[in-house]
Structure 1
Amino acid sequence: MTTELTLTTGSGPDGAVVLTASGEIDMSNAETFAGALTRAVAGAAGGRLMVDMTAVQYLDSAGLSALFAQADHIELRTGPLLAPLLEISGLTELTTVHHV
């Protein structure tokens, strides 16, 4: 059974590319998430991609791996649920994380 995950790409107020994820990111859909990250980074045309994860309720190691693979090209926006996981994993040392 695939865990529900919704991914949308758009523009932020400053014109930057924003990939918004909502739902759960786990091994059942991490490949889809990684593909969306790769496409959105390519669409950011040399700029950094903002990944809005404020509506993500669960993130496992497969989802973290996808984020680590793109850490040089992304910034993250997250809420209090994922903040400790991103810190413990060390991702906050590799990319900018904005806490909402």
Structure 2
Amino acid sequence: MIDCHDCGGSVSFSAASCPHCGSREPSGPYIQSPRELRFHRIEERNDQTLIGMLVLCTGIGFFYGAVTGGAWPAAGYGLLGALIGAPAGFIINVSRRLFE
């Protein structure tokens, strides 16, 4: 038996919730290990890198198309930039995971 983290009542260690207050975490909130926190930061950085590369390559393609041709070439080059940016961001993310 343990004391509930929220109400202090006696609760079985294997209980899913406290019978007194209904708390879903009677043993207290889960605390992540430093390793888990590091992996969450890596995943967050991966999301930011992927979005950043996609926006950057799309913007460069759109700008190049607008300067060289007009509206339709700008849209085409912007799409081409997006098609290049997504795999580029993925490659950066995979290589970061290999070397950390």
Normalising by structure 1, report the TM-score: 0.22
Structure number with the higher helix fraction is 2
By percentage of residues, which structure has more strand?
1
Q: TM-score, normalised by structure 2?
A: 0.22
Larger Rg: 2
